[in-house]
């Protein structure tokens, strides 16, 4: 592996000409202080950040693999996903994305000790359980390589022991592990090999034993506003006494003294009136923690199947690229169904729309303010769209809006055609949801009218089948407009705005464009349905009053024309923006 991050705004790159290899069958630790470039290195290796260089996994670049999640499992911070999703739902959705069989979910829950917490929401997980869920998602596809960004930070000792055993077991099965940490002693404790970096450059590549001998010597840690002066005094006195010491100054008034004792350093500081804020011995002891817990077992003092409760930290939405490594889900249709049904938002929106439609249907029929078809749709004149169509648009907007707000997948820079499979699955699932909402609203509304006002209140016109087809087309079109709008602008609100723009802005423009202000029949669109009907009668003499004529009348209406135009523009915009992002991602 050899990578460098891209220079931004004239600043030095975070990672500079970093070259190393990670061997199978070993646990490799990437060690460095805060800001050394550890996280940036992992993101460069995974292709999630822009840079230059080559990274090969078993001889192949990651972006050329058909199923990268089966080669590499990554854990980069908190588990990304909707906070209302449960642990089991998250694993099932990720399993569909990486192509893991459903049976793997129960096995992963057992291996990570999360079986008792399968129904808990992501925003209710403790830090330890969140990390276990993260490694569970990474292991679903049984990858050979694990890349982990400081998974042990903030965990109690017993939870760290569980992680040590997990990493060791994966390496002993022939797997490859690269794990970052800021603590050199911890790296020497769990790793076979240690890579030390500083300022984005490799400064040491040693086995753990050599690293402990050379880098973890006992030292005296000092903090003083006069650290540089004290270092000089200590070295001068040591030379005068024929002793050899090493005094290393660091930022923030820190001083590390090797080859001396607290007593000697304190006496020198006292004699020369140097103020000390801290004076302590630090040991290089790297002995492993006693009684490590094997993978999948709980801590000794916890109930069976229960991981230790680390402090619960507030969940912060992770940056894009925190989830499984896929350029598109392996099973996009199953993934999208599980994504939509895994939280209650979409079902509640659909149910609320049906209830609102039924209430409006009964009220409109009572006031006789609308025809029976409009009453069944629950579409009063004051609303730009009926509740069912608005709900369909919102469900569509959530489909891609939540994908960007709560990214569960870390998309690699794969071909655009792969990601279009996910778009096709989303279009299909949102269309089914829209049709279900529309048909339930009409069906329950008809039953409510018959119950309240009697069967005679359902006096449907002769073109009822065509009206039903138009009603379904309106719902599906709104769902797709919301989905594409959210995909173009990467936010749910933009998808909702795209839906509302059809009746509010596009329909008036269509009417103004196709209707001749002078009333000339040759240029007026008012006679278009009739002319199309004559054309359909000529082409299909026996079906003149059937579906061809009904379809032509449907798409000749201003709302139909406006919806078709809007969808055409949104599809083109989505393809242009997706292609542009693909070009910008290329190094």
CATH number at residue 82: 3.40.50.300
231 and 196 assigned to the same domain? no
348 and 225 assigned to the same domain? no
Say if 64 falls within a structural domain: yes
Say if 533 falls within a structural domain: no
Instruction: Count other Cβ atoms within 10 Å, centred on residue 531.
Output: 12
203 and 239 assigned to the same domain? no
Say if 309 falls within a structural domain: no
572 and 433 assigned to the same domain? yes
Which pTM value belongs to this model?
Answer: 0.79
140 and 36 assigned to the same domain? yes
Question: β-pairing, 60-61 with 56-57?
Answer: antiparallel
Residue-by-residue pLDDT tens, the chain, 587 positions? 566 666 665 566 778 778 889 999 999 999 988 888 899 999 888 888 877 878 888 888 887 887 888 999 999 887 778 999 999 999 999 999 999 999 999 999 999 999 999 999 999 999 999 999 999 999 999 999 999 999 999 999 889 999 999 999 999 999 999 999 998 889 988 999 999 998 888 888 989 888 887 777 788 889 999 999 999 999 999 888 888 888 888 778 888 888 889 999 999 999 999 999 999 887 554 333 433 444 444 443 444 445 555 555 455 444 444 577 876 788 999 999 999 999 999 999 999 999 999 999 999 998 877 888 899 999 998 999 999 999 999 999 999 999 888 888 876 555 666 678 899 999 999 999 999 999 999 999 999 999 999 888 888 877 788 889 889 999 999 999 999 999 999 999 999 999 999 999 998 988 887 665 554 444 444 454 555 455 444 544 544 445 455 544 555 578 888 999 999 999 999 988 876 665 445 44
Say if 262 falls within a structural domain: yes
Say if 544 falls within a structural domain: no
Say if 288 falls within a structural domain: no
Task: Report DSSP letters for 411-446, one per residue.
Answer: --S--HHHHHHHHHHHHHHHHHHHHHHHHHHHHHHH
Say if 291 falls within a structural domain: no
102 and 129 assigned to the same domain? yes
- Residue ending a domain, among 183, 209, 235, is 209
Task: Report DSSP letters for 291-304, one per residue.
Answer: SPPPTTPPPTTS-T
67 and 205 assigned to the same domain? yes
- In sequence order, the β-bridge partners of residue 250 are 254
84 and 184 assigned to the same domain? yes
Are the C-beta atoms of 441 and 354 separated by less than 8 Å? yes
Provide the b/e sequence for 429-439 (b: ≥16 CB within 10 Å): bbbebbbebbb
SS (H, E, C) 349-395: HHHHHHHHHHHHHHHHHHHCCCCHHHHHHCCCCCCCCCHHHHHHHHH
- Residue ending a domain, among 266, 282, 298, is 282
CATH number at residue 269: 3.30.70
- State the Cα–Cα distance between residues 447 and 546, nearest whole angstrom: 26
- Which backbone phi and psi does 237 adopt, to 5 degrees? -65, -35
Residues with Cβ within 8 Å of residue 92, at least 6 apart in sequence: 102, 105, 338, 342
Instruction: Count other Cβ atoms within 10 Å, centred on residue 399.
Output: 28
Say if 88 falls within a structural domain: yes
What's the structural domain count of the chain? 3
Domain that residue 449 falls in: 332-514+557-585
Question: β-pairing, 27-31 with 193-198?
Answer: parallel
- State the Cα–Cα distance between residues 145 and 71, nearest whole angstrom: 6
430 and 503 assigned to the same domain? yes
264 and 382 assigned to the same domain? no
448: left (phi over 0), alpha (psi -120 to 50) or beta: alpha
117 and 55 assigned to the same domain? yes
358 and 491 assigned to the same domain? yes
């Amino acid at each position: 592996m050899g990578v460098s991050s891209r220079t931004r705004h004239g600043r030095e790159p975070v990672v500079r000409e970093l070259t190393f290899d990670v061997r199978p069958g070993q646990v490799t630790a990437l060690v460095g202080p805060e800001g050394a470039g550890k996280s940036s290195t992992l993101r460069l290796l995974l292709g999630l950040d822009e840079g230059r260089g080559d990274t090969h996994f078993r001889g192949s670049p990651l972006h050329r693999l058909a199923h990268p999640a089966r080669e590499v499992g990554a854990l980069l911070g908190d588990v990304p996903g909707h906070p209302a999703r449960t642990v089991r739902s998250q694993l099932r959705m990720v399993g569909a994305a990486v192509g893991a069989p459903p049976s793997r979910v129960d096995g992963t829950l057992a291996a990570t000790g999360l079986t008792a917490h399968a129904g808990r929401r992501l925003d209710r997980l403790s830090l330890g359980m969140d990390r276990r869920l993260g490694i569970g998602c990474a292991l679903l596809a049984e990858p050979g390589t694990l890349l982990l960004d400081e998974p042990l930070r903030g965990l109690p000792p017993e939870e760290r022991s569980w992680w040590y055993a997990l990493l060791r077991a994966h390496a002993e099965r022939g797997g490859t592990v690269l794990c970052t940490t800021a603590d050199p002693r911890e790296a020497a404790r769990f790793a076979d090999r240690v890579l030390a970096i500083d300022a984005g450059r490799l400064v040491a590549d040693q086995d753990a034993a050599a690293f402990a001998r050379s880098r973890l010597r006992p030292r005296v840690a000092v903090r003083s506003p006069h650290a540089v002066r004290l270092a000089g005094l200590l070295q001068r006195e040591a030379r005068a006494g024929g002793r050899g010491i090493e005094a290393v100054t660091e930022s923030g008034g820190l001083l590390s003294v090797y080859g001396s004792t607290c007593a000697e350093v304190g006496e020198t500081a006292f004699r020369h009136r140097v103020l000390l804020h801290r004076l302590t011995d630090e040991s290089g002891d790297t002995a492993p923690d006693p009684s490590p817990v094997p993978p999948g077992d709980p801590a000794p003092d916890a109930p069976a199947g229960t991981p230790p409760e680390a402090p619960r930290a507030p969940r912060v939405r992770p940056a894009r690229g925190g989830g499984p490594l896929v350029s598109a889900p392996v099973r996009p249709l199953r993934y999208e169904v599980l994504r939509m049904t895994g939280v209650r938002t979409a079902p509640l929106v659909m149910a609320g729309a049906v209830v609102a439609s039924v209430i409006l249907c009964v009220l409109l029929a009572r006031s006789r303010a609308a025809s029976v078809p409009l009453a069944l749709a629950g579409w009063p004149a004051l609303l730009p769209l009926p509740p069912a169509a608005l709900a369909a648009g919102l469900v569509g907007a959530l489909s891609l809006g939540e994908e960007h707000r709560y990214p569960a997948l870390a998309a690699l820079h794969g071909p655009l055609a792969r990601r279009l499979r996910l778009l096709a699955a989303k279009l299909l699932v949102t269309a089914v949801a829209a049709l279900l909402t529309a048909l339930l609203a009409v069906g329950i509304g008809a039953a409510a009218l018959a119950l309240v006002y009697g069967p005679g209140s359902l006096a449907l016109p002769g073109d009822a089948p065509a009206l039903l087809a138009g009603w379904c087309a309106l719902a599906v079109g709104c769902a797709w407009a919301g989905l594409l709008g959210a995909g173009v602008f990467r936010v749910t609100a933009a998808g909702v705005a795209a839906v509302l723009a059809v009746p509010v802005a596009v329909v008036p423009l269509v009417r103004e464009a196709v209707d001749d202000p002078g009333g000339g029949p040759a240029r007026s669109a008012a006679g278009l349905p009739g002319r199309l009907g004559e054309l359909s009668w000529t082409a299909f003499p026996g079906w003149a009053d059937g579906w061809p004529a009904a379809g032509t009348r449907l798409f000749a209406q201003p709302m139909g024309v406006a919806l078709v135009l809007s969808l055409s523009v949104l599809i083109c915009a989505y393809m242009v923006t997706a292609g542009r992002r693909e070009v910008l991602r290329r190094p």
